[in-house]
C-alpha cells in the first residue's frame, strides 16, 4: 500500500471522472451558506507537476485532461471542472493538475473544513507542507478508514466523504463496503463519493452492486453510479479500462450534469475508441 503514489497517474481519465464529480458535489454544497466538512480518506500529495517527476514519466494525463484542455465544446460540468484546473495554471499552459485536496481547498469557504488523510510518508509531507497550516484544515498521516467514527457526522450535518484508495491491495475492496455502511449509519444524509477502477478482477466487478445494496434504504437521498470505459485490457487481461464513481446521497443536480457530460467524455477520452459510459440511480 505504501508503495503506491498517485503522481504516476495524475490527470488521467480516472482523475477526470472523479474530479468532475467532486467539483459538482462541492458546488452544490456551496449553494447554501452553512458550512460543510469534507473527509478525504486517501488524499495523496495534493497537486502534481506535469513537467517532471512521476507524472511526466507515464504521462497518463495526455490521454486524460490533456485531451480536454484546448477544446471549446466542453459540456457545462466538464467546463466547470476545467475552470478549477485553470486556476492552477494561470498562464493558460497545462503544467500542473490539482489532486482532490487542492480542488477541495480551492472551493472551500472560511466556514468549511477539510480532514485529509495520507499514509505515504513522502506524499503526506508534501500535503502537510501545502495545506497543513491552513485554518480549518487538518492533515493526518493516519488511516482514513479508521477516522470515520471521530469525524462523522460533522457539527453542521452537511458534508462529503471521499473514498479513493489505490486498490493496489485487495483488502481495499473489503474495507470500502463497511466504510460506506459506517458513514451512512453515522451520517445518513451525508454525501459519500467512492471511486472504483474498472479492472478484470472479481472484486472490482462486484463492488458497485454491493455498494448499491448497502446504500439502499440507508442513504436518505438514494444513490448514483457513473462510469466511463475508455480503454482495452492488454493481451493478458490486465490494465485499467475505465473507472466508476458511486455516490450515496447525490445532489439532485449531479445526474443531469453527468447525463450531458458522460457521452461526450466517452467519445473524447476513448483510446482506442469507441468508448462507453453508464449512468444509473435510485431514490431512497
Q: Are 123 and 44 in contact (CB under 8 A)?
A: yes
Looking at 222-265, which runs of residues are DSSP E strands? 223-229, 242-248
Q: Which of 157, 209, 153 is nearest to 185 (CA)?
A: 153
Q: Is 260 designated active site?
A: no
61, burial (CB in 10 Å: exposed 0-12, middle 13-18, buried 19+): buried
Catalytic residue among 80, 164, 234, 260: 164
Task: Write the DSSP symbol of residue 146.
Answer: G
Instruction: Using the structure block, give the residue that is written with the C-alpha cell 491491495.
Output: 169
Q: What's the length of the chain? A: 284
Backbone angles phi, psi at 35, to 5 degrees: -70, 160
Query: What's the chain's Rg over C-alpha atoms?
Result: 17
3-state secondary structure of 270: coil
Which residues does the annotation mark as catalytic? 164
Amino acid at each position: 500500500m505504501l508503495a503506491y503514489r498517485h503522481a504516476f497517474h495524475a490527470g488521467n481519465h480516472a482523475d477526470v471522472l472523479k474530479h468532475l464529480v467532486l467539483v459538482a458535489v462541492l458546488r452544490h454544497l456551496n449553494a447554501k451558506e452553512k458550512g460543510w466538512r469534507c473527509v478525504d480518506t486517501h488524499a495523496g500529495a495534493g497537486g502534481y507537476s506535469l513537467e517532471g517527476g512521476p507524472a511526466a514519466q507515464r504521462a497518463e494525463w495526455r490521454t486524460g485532461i490533456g485531451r480536454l484542455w484546448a477544446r471549446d465544446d466542453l459540456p457545462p460540468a466538464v467546463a466547470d471542472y476545467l475552470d478549477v484546473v485553470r486556476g492552477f495554471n494561470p498562464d493558460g499552459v497545462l503544467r500542473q493538475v490539482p489532486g482532490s485536496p487542492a480542488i477541495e481547498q480551492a472551493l472551500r469557504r472560511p466556514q468549511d473544513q477539510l480532514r485529509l488523510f495520507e499514509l505515504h510518508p513522502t506524499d503526506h509531507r508534501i500535503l502537510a507542507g501545502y495545506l497543513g497550516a491552513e485554518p480549518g484544515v487538518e492533515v493526518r498521516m493516519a488511516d482514513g478508514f479508521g477516522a470515520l467514527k471521530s469525524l462523522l457526522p460533522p457539527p453542521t450535518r452537511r458534508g462529503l466523504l471521499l473514498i479513493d484508495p489505490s486498490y493496489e491491495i485487495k483488502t481495499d475492496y473489503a474495507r470500502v463496503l463497511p466504510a460506506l455502511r459506517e458513514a451512512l449509519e453515522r451520517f445518513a444524509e451525508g454525501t459519500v463519493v467512492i471511486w472504483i477502477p474498472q479492472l478484470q478482477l472479481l472484486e472490482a466487478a462486484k463492488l458497485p452492486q454491493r455498494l448499491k445494496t448497502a446504500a439502499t434504504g440507508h442513504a436518505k437521498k438514494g444513490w448514483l453510479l457513473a462510469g466511463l470505459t475508455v480503454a482495452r485490457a492488454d493481451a493478458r487481461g490486465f490494465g485499467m479500462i475505465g473507472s466508476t464513481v458511486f455516490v450515496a446521497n447525490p445532489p439532485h443536480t449531479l445526474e443531469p450534469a453527468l447525463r450531458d457530460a458522460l457521452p461526450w467524455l466517452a467519445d473524447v477520452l476513448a483510446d482506442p475508441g469507441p468508448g462507453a459510459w453508464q449512468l444509473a440511480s435510485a431514490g431512497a
